[in-house]
């Protein structure tokens, strides 16, 4: 059977745990044909690991998108977009494509940096990306921004945020409690417009988890391309990333990436589901 084709519109993380590198590795682990349209290049200072982000000229993104769309991706994912202009281009790319699925990972900060990439981006994501998203995968912080509720600290607050984000057009919403929500377990909330479902695994070490968010959203994208329902796609993606986190490794004194291939090569992890 022909491979399904997956496209990420994202930045390059030179250290390769996150960004388009995480997406490509994850697409490959799911046996899809992964492609990239690059938005920016992130390099790190070896002494301090401070991030240096260089955006690519918009004309270069346009050319890449033209190439990628001509290859007809089945599913498209967004990662770090960085500017309102690029957010608009990513939305247009999905509309211009024949892709059936659009997964929006609403990246707002570059991990390791505290500064929100650009506050105007949140408005652009709400206006341009949410209305066409098949699945949106905010973490707690991003869900607080996309819903306008600010800091979220409980499952009840996550439910309210998911409802608002769904009302803003996203068909399926996963709010990742992840390591930020207190407790022994890593809890995400999935909402399909009708039912709220908690997805839970053990909480594993959080020191070497660089790239967890990208890996999760890329797994959702590949699962959708491969024909899983959004619900199955999200549950399987959580199992995939849980294994990747559990088997994360120390790269240097600053960072440790997830192990993208751990689900297929090391161990499978069960995800508990519960309606709330």
C-beta of 139 vs 145, nearer to ligand ADP: 139
User: Min. distance of Cβ 118 from ligand ADP in angstroms?
Assistant: 19
User: Min. distance of Cβ 163 from ligand ADP in angstroms?
Assistant: 20
Asked if 67 and 43 count as a contact pair (C-beta separation under 8 A), the reply is no
The closest alpha carbon to 112, from 246, 275, 256, belongs to 256
CA dihedral of residues 176, 178, 179, 184 (deg, nearest 10): 130
For the chain, report the end-to-end CA distance as a whole number of angstroms: 39
Six-digit token string for 272: 């508990």
Is residue 245 a contact residue for ligand ADP (CB under 6 A)?
yes
Q: Please tell me the distance from the alpha carbon of residue 129 to that of residue 105, in angstroms, as a whole number.
A: 10
Residue 53, strand partner residues: 42
C-beta of 65 vs 189, nearer to ligand ADP: 189
User: Min. distance of Cβ 186 from ligand ADP in angstroms?
Assistant: 3
Q: Which of 238, 255, 260, 263 binds ligand ADP (CB under 6 A)?
A: 238
Query: In this structure, what are the phi and psi dihedrals at residue 11, rounded to the nearest 5 degrees?
Result: -90, 165
Structural element, H or E, at residue 248:
none
Residue span 169-208 as binding mask against ligand ADP, x where in contact by CB under 6 A, dash where not: -------xxxx------x-x------------x-xx-x--
C-beta of 93 vs 186, nearer to ligand ADP: 186
What is the pairing mode between strands 196-202 and 172-176? unpaired
C-beta of 4 vs 203, nearer to ligand ADP: 203
Residue 143 sits at the vertex; the CA angle it makes with 227 and 184, to the nearest 5 degrees, is 85
Is residue 241 a contact residue for ligand ADP (CB under 6 A)?
yes
Residue span 48-67 as binding mask against ligand ADP, x where in contact by CB under 6 A, dash where not: --------------------
C-beta of 21 vs 209, nearer to ligand ADP: 209
Q: Rule CB under 6 A: which residues touch ligand ADP?
A: 139, 176-179, 186, 188, 201, 203-204, 206, 209, 212-213, 216, 238, 241-242, 245
């Amino acid at each position: 059977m022909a491979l399904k084709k997956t496209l990420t519109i994202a930045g390059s993380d030179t250290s390769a745990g996150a960004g388009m590198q995480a997406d490509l590795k994850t697409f490959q682990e799911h046996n899809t044909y992964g492609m990239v349209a690059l938005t920016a290049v992130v390099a790190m200072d070896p002494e301090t690991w401070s991030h240096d982000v260089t955006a690519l000229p918009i004309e270069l993104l346009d050319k890449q998108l033209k190439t990628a769309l001509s290859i007809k991706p089945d599913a498209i994912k967004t990662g770090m977009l960085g500017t309102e202009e690029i957010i608009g281009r990513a939305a247009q790319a999905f509309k211009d494509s024949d892709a059936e699925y659009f997964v929006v990972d609403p990246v707002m900060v570059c991990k390791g940096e505290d500064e929100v990439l650009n506050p105007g981006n949140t408005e652009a994501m709400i206006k341009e990306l949410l209305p066409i998203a098949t699945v949106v995968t905010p973490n707690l912080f991003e869900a607080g921004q996309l819903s306008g509720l600010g800091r979220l600290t409980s499952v009840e607050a996550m439910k309210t945020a998911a409802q608002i984000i769904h009302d803003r057009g996203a068909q399926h919403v996963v709010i990742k409690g992840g390591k930020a929500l207190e407790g022994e377990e890593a809890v995400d909330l999935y909402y399909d417009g009708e039912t709220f479902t908690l997805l839970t695994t053990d909480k594993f070490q959080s020191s070497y988890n660089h790239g967890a968010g990208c890996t999760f959203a890329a797994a959702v994208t590949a699962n959708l391309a491969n024909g899983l329902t959004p619900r199955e796609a999200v549950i399987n993606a959580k199992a995939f990333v849980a294994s990747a986190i559990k088997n994360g490794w120390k790269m240097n004194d600053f960072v440790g990436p997830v192990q993208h291939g751990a689900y297929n090569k090391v161990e499978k992890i069960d995800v508990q589901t519960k309606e709330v």
